[in-house]
């Protein structure tokens, strides 16, 4: 990997029919954080899990923010393109198909930005507690790209109007968006795992 790359973990596929997953942690997480989640929702998948390269008070993130819920959008764009380059390098190195992003919180936001800025990098995405990453996103063609957006009804960080706007934005770009609002806060619940696992199963069956 090049100097521009990410510290990451890679676990090879155990089932050739399972889609590779790009695991993107939340603020303060690292490359180990979502490996367990990845194995739970798709036990056979190859797992590619990078560590965010921005530090906020010592906590890894995927891009800078100005305050909670207010993003440094120039940094969002730059970091999303860096992540897209990393995915391309990793696909070549490990022999992977385009992965499905599974992102939580800050990781879901960078995955949403990647969909808007470099859509070919991903085959689809599971966005857990995501927000609109860019106030003025580019016009993009996400025709048929499957996306599962799971929001928490009592999420103190992501307003319901914001997640609804993200669902509309992705749908208007042509993506096949399933948006569910769960009786949960910002943290993940058993319902998130069940819905994500079912969605991955359908995704794998459709691309088989």
Helical spans, DSSP H, in 42-132: 73-94, 106-117
Catalytic pick from 105, 151, 163, 192?
Answer: 105
Burial of 17 (0-12, 13-18, 19+ CB in 10 A): exposed
* 49 in Cβ contact with 39 (< 8 Å): no
Whether 171 is a known active-site residue: answer no
Whether 57 is a known active-site residue: answer no
**Tokens for 93?**
């190195």
Ramachandran sector of residue 36 (left: φ over 0; alpha: ψ -120 to 50; beta: rest):
alpha
Whether 105 is a known active-site residue: answer yes
For the chain, the maximum distance between any two Cα atoms, rounded to a whole number of angstroms, is 44
**Tokens for 141?**
């063609």
* Nearest-10 crossing angle of helices 106-117, 160-172: 20
Catalytic pick from 18, 42, 49, 155?
Answer: 155
Catalytic pick from 75, 85, 171, 186?
Answer: 186
**Tokens for 40?**
């739970």
Reference 85, options 53, 139, 121, 119; nearest CA is 121
Give catalytic residue positions.
105, 155, 186
């Amino acid at each position: 990997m090049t100097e521009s790359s990410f510290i990451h973990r890679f676990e090879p596929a155990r089932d050739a029919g399972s889609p590779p997953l790009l695991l993107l942690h939340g603020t303060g997480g690292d490359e180990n954080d979502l490996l367990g989640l990845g194995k739970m929702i798709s036990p056979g998948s190859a797992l590619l899990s990078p560590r965010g390269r921005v530090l906020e008070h010592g906590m890894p993130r995927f891009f800078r923010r100005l305050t909670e819920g207010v993003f440094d959008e120039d940094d969002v764009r730059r970091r999303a393109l860096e992540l897209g380059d990393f995915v391309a390098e990793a696909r070549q190195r490990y022999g992977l198909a385009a992965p499905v992003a599974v992102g939580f919180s800050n990781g879901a936001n960078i995955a949403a930005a990647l969909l808007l800025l470099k859509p070919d990098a991903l085959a689809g995405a599971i966005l857990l507690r995501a927000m609109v990453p860019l106030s003025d996103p580019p016009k993009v063609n996400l025709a048929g790209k499957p996306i599962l957006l799971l929001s928490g009804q009592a999420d103190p960080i992501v307003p319901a109007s914001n997640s609804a706007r993200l669902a509309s934005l992705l749908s208007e770009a042509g993506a096949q968006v399933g948006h569910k609002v769960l009786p949960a806060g910002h943290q993940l619940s058993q319902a998130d795992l069940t819905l994500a696992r079912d969605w991955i199963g359908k995704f794998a069956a459709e691309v088989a």
